[in-house]
């Protein structure tokens, strides 16, 4: 007689806040995978500050405002979104769920939220663009040692249907994530970093497969060191702008002067980011960097912020500080790990519903009414 009790069906409605997905997701993953997603650099100060800085911002709500009719819809760098949010790039979604980025893309399409696909994704850009259907996909990339591969990937992304490129500039070298080193991080043999496969070149398939030629499990720096270049400089942004036609957003900005230089070089947007606290530990929380960057370039370029976004109120705070939109990766991975496509769908639903309610409670009937005076008593 079979006495095994079947596992209960995943019920996304049981989750009432985004952070409730975290425990459920990591319980389903291997320690290597969960530590890879949760880790920050060194002592993980910046990782913690990202969340704490949003929580510390008070919202001085307006009273007696008619908010019976509200709209959260917006456009970010030409991409329509149901609310001021775009899914941030994160590598290797298949470590969280076998369907990986396809499940994320399907959920994003159902919620009318665009997404940024990591160049280190475990699903090819072509498949992701097909799965996304009704929303735009932006392609994140690094400028590595082989500049020709950068242009190959940019052209491949454009052909697949991507509408923008997101150039990450805060990783001239990889930050030290001690959890990954202790765990001997390496990819399972069944997972491939398919966007890094460069057909026709010896050793290329090896470099993108779980085995990784010469990889001993010493962490992300060893696994993907060839994808970045310590000689990266502003002339490389000039070069990328001149060599392809997609609009470019520069990701990894925390200073107003760098934001101005990026826009002067032809970037159409900047993403205020510290790589989720995974690069320079001690970098400021993005909530602390945002206002100066937005003041410098928001009238000339799209400004988005990521890092520590956990509630719809954080999205409201981001707009009040001058951003056009917000972004997050870990909450999406938590939803994916806990419940696949339905988990991601619920995370996006919670964030949008919270943002809409926060608008009403703050006395804002439209996005244009989310202004800096909300943060001043």
The question of whether 275 is a catalytic residue gets the answer yes
Q: What confidence category does residue 1 fall into, taking pLDDT thresholds of 50, 70 and 90?
A: very low
Quote the pLDDT of residue 10.
86
Stronger pLDDT, 306 or 227, i.e. the higher one:
306
Q: Over the chain, what is the mean pLDDT?
A: 92
pLDDT value of position 281: 98
Strands 74-76 vs 269-272: parallel, antiparallel or unpaired = unpaired
Q: What is the pLDDT of residues 31-59, one digit of tens each?
A: 999 999 999 999 999 999 999 999 999 99
Q: Is the pLDDT reported for residue 204 higher than 50? A: no
Percent of the chain exceeding pLDDT 70 equals 90
End-to-end Cα, the chain, rounded Å: 68
Tokens of 11: 């019920």
Tens digit of pLDDT for each residue in 357-371?
999 999 999 999 999
What are the tens digits of pLDDT across the range 120-166?
A: 999 999 999 999 999 999 999 999 988 999 999 999 999 999 999 99
Residue 147's CB: how many other CB atoms inside 10 A? 14
Average pLDDT over residues 311-318: 99
pLDDT band with cut points at 50, 70 and 90 for residue 215: very low
Q: Which of 307, 254, 250, 243 is nearest to 55 (CA)?
A: 307
Confidence class for position 274, pLDDT limits 50, 70, 90:
very high
pLDDT at 222: 60
Asked if the model's pLDDT at residue 208 lies above 80, the reply is no
Report the percent of the chain where pLDDT is more than 90. 86
Residue 241 or residue 223, greater confidence: 241
Q: Say whether pLDDT at 201 is over 60.
A: no
- What integer pLDDT is reported at residue 186 of this predicted model? 87
pLDDT at 203 over 90: no
Residues 6+ apart with CB under 8 A from 6: none
User: What's residue 187's pLDDT?
Assistant: 87
Answer whether residue 301 shows pLDDT above 90: yes
Q: Is a pLDDT exceeding 60 seen at residue 211?
A: no
**Domain boundary assignment for the chain:** 15-78+258-306
Q: Does residue 210 carry a pLDDT above 70?
A: no
Asked if 280 and 46 touch (Cβ cutoff 8 Å), the reply is yes
For 174-206, b/e burial (b = at least 16 CB within 10 A) is: bbbbebbbebebbbeeebbbbbbbbeeeeeebe
Residue where the block lists tokens 């259907």: 133
What is the predicted pLDDT for the residue at 196? 85
């Amino acid at each position: 007689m079979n006495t095994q009790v079947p596992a209960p069906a995943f019920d996304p409605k049981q989750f009432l806040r985004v952070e409730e997905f975290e425990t459920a997701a990591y319980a389903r993953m291997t320690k290597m995978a969960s530590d890879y997603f949760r880790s920050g650099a060194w002592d993980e100060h910046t990782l913690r500050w990202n969340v704490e800085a949003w929580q510390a911002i008070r919202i001085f709500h307006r009273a007696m405002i008619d908010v019976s009719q509200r709209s959260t819809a917006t456009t970010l760098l030409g991409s329509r979104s149901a609310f001021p949010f775009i899914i941030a790039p994160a590598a290797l979604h298949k470590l969280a769920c076998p369907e990986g980025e396809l499940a994320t893309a399907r959920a994003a399409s159902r919620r009318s939220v665009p997404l940024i696909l990591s160049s280190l994704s475990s699903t090819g850009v072509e498949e992701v663009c097909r799965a996304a259907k009704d929303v735009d996909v932006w392609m994140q990339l690094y400028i590595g040692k082989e500049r020709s591969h950068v242009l190959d990937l940019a052209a491949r992304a454009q052909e697949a249907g991507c509408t923008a490129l997101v150039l990450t500039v805060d990783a001239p070298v990889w930050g030290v994530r001690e959890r990954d080193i202790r765990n001997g991080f390496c990819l399972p043999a069944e997972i491939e970093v398919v966007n890094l496969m460069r057909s026709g070149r010896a050793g290329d398939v090896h470099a993108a497969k779980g085995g990784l030629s010469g990889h001993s499990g010493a962490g992300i720096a060893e696994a993907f060191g060839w994808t970045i270049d310590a000689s990266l400089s502003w002339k490389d942004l000039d070069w990328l702008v001149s060599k392809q036609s997609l609009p470019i957003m520069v990701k990894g900005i925390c200073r107003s002067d760098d934001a101005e230089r990026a826009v002067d070089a032809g970037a159409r947007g900047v993403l205020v980011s510290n790589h989720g606290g995974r690069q320079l530990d001690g970098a400021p929380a993005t909530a602390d960097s945002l206002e100066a960057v937005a003041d410098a370039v928001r009238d000339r370029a799209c400004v988005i912020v990521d890092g520590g976004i956990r509630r719809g109120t954080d999205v409201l705070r981001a707009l009040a500080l001058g951003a056009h939109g917000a972004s997050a990766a870990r909450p999406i991975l938590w939803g994916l790990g806990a419940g696949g496509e339905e988990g991601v769908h619920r995370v996006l639903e919670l964030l949008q519903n919270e943002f809409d309610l926060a608008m009403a409670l703050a006395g804002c009937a439209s996005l244009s009414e989310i202004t800096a005076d909300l943060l001043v008593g």
